[in-house]
């Protein structure tokens, strides 16, 4: 598996990593959800070099995760806004933040940021629930099986075989 060809893999996680799988991109997305929108603000908050920031923003725009929107005409200046595709990353980012809160934050000082739900006014922890029955998901009680996009046994869990009619050579 070559890093620059992850988007060609049959695995959904691998293809996702091809878009958001580096530290700067994840931090840019975190800041987007904290309503940072302008190049200079990203740079100041992250301490990232201009070329790296420009490259990551360009990639997120090319992948339709962010939209580059003009906010000033003289001189022309842009800000970066999450697209619907980008907004769909919210549960991913929130889950990573929650994992950090639980497993790597300072216990004596607590969480650096709390998340409050506007509708009920309460601070919350994110939960992943089954879209069919609404129960909280426990990884020990979830099993996978090949879906219509399965093409190789390489990324299938142990004991799960892809039917020969759907297999292709994974390069």
User: pTM of the predicted model, to two decimals?
Assistant: 0.81
Rounded CA separation 159/12 (Å) = 19
* Helix or strand holding residue 94 (H, E): helix 90-103
Token readout for 4 is 């620059």
For the segment 125-156, what is each residue's pLDDT rounded down to a tens digit?
Answer: 999 999 999 999 999 999 988 888 777 656 56
Beta bridge partners of 77: 72
* Range list of β-strands (E), the chain: 66-73, 76-82
For the segment 35-93, what is each residue's pLDDT rounded down to a tens digit?
Answer: 999 999 999 999 999 999 999 999 999 999 999 999 999 899 999 999 999 999 999 99
pLDDT band of residue 15 (cuts 50, 70, 90) is confident
Long-range CB contacts for residues 77-82, cutoff 8 Å, separation at least 24: 77/38, 78/39, 79/37, 79/38, 80/32, 80/37, 80/38, 80/39, 80/42, 81/32, 81/37, 82/32, 82/33
% helix, strand, coil for the chain, step of 5: 40, 10, 45
3-class secondary structure, 136: strand
DSSP 26-75: HHHHHHHHTT--BHHHHHHHHT--HHHHHHHHHHHHHTTSEEEEEEEETT
């Amino acid at each position: 598996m070559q890093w620059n060809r992850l988007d060609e893999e049959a695995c959904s996680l691998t293809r996702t990593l091809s878009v958001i799988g580096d530290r700067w991109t994840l931090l840019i997305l975190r800041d987007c959800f904290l309503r940072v929108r302008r190049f200079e603000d990203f740079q100041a908050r992250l301490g990232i070099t201009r070329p790296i920031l420009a490259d990551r923003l360009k990639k997120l725009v090319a992948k339709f995760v962010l939209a580059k929107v003009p906010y000033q005409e003289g001189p022309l200046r842009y800000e970066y806004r999450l697209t619907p595709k980008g907004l769909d990353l919210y549960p991913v980012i929130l889950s990573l933040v929650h994992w950090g809160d639980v497993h790597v934050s300072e216990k004596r000082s607590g969480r650096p940021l709390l998340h409050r739900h506007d509708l009920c006014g309460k601070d919350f922890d994110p939960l992943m629930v089954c879209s069919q029955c609404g129960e909280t998901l426990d990884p020990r009680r979830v099993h996978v099986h090949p879906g219509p996009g399965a093409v190789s046994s390489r990324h299938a869990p142990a004991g799960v075989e892809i039917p020969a009619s759907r297999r292709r050579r994974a390069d």
